[in-house]
Amino acid sequence: MTGSAGQDGSYLVELLRDRGYEVTGVERGDLDLLDAGAVRALLLDAAPQEVYNLASPSFVPRSWEEPVEVAKLGAVGATVLLEAIREVDPAIRVFQASSAEVFGVPVETPQSESTPFRPVSPYGTAKAYATFLTAAYRSRYGLHVSSGILFNHESPRRATGFLPAKVAHGVAAIAAGDAQEIAFQHAGLDWREHVRVDQSLVRGQDYQLVGDASKARDRLGWKPSVTFEQLVALLVDAAREA
């Protein structure tokens, strides 16, 4: 599993180990995903039955600051990995983590598997490339490779640079008397006494990235286990404890 120490990777490692898996985690600095020889050597050594490619710089605005690095990791890195798997063991099952950013400014809401890709950032473009390439390898070589288009998702392990985590930590700071910022009712505070809107920072975004998960519901029997309100409470409680 690449990206095994991130928010998604850390939860997935725990889930798989609870199911009896032996997991080999790869983080930035452990392996150069652009080094085809090193990737092949790792696959030969670990001999995995499944590969989860979660490696990616996930903070979208920052992708404009390092577009070349984002393209290398998100697009070229995925290519190197798929090609190495094809050469070493085509029976390996592969999951490629894609992103709702492939839709960019979407033509419809909610978005589904058939919504056209219109990425508007280096991150979204790299993810679109990897998603298309995954389908191409499945079609050409018959590999068991799949992409999951992930929309915004949160947990107490989310970095504080993201808005929900930033808000939750602000709530905790206010409740502890350490800051004057943003609050939720969960913390026993009236948000109207703390929220200030700087109109110069409003982006005027008139579209929404909202996923249609009906395919996962129908074919996999999946359903969300946490409501939005429960998620807010989870984030705030974790931030207050921290």
**Does an H or E element contain 228, and which?**
helix 228-241
Is 241 designated active site? no
Tokens of 90: 């085509």
Is 101 designated active site? yes
Q: How many CA atoms within 13 Å lie on the side-chain side of 104?
A: 14
**96 closest CA partner among 85, 107, 109, 87:** 85
Catalytic residue among 4, 56, 99, 121: 99
Question: What span, in angstroms and rounded, lies between the C-alpha atoms of 74 and 113?
Answer: 20
**123 closest CA partner among 63, 53, 77:** 63
Is 14 designated active site? no
**Cβ distance 21 to 13 under 8 Å?**
no
* Residue 239 CA, distance from chain mean position: 21
Catalytic residue among 123, 129, 137, 147: 123
Which sequence positions are flagged as catalytic? 99, 101, 123
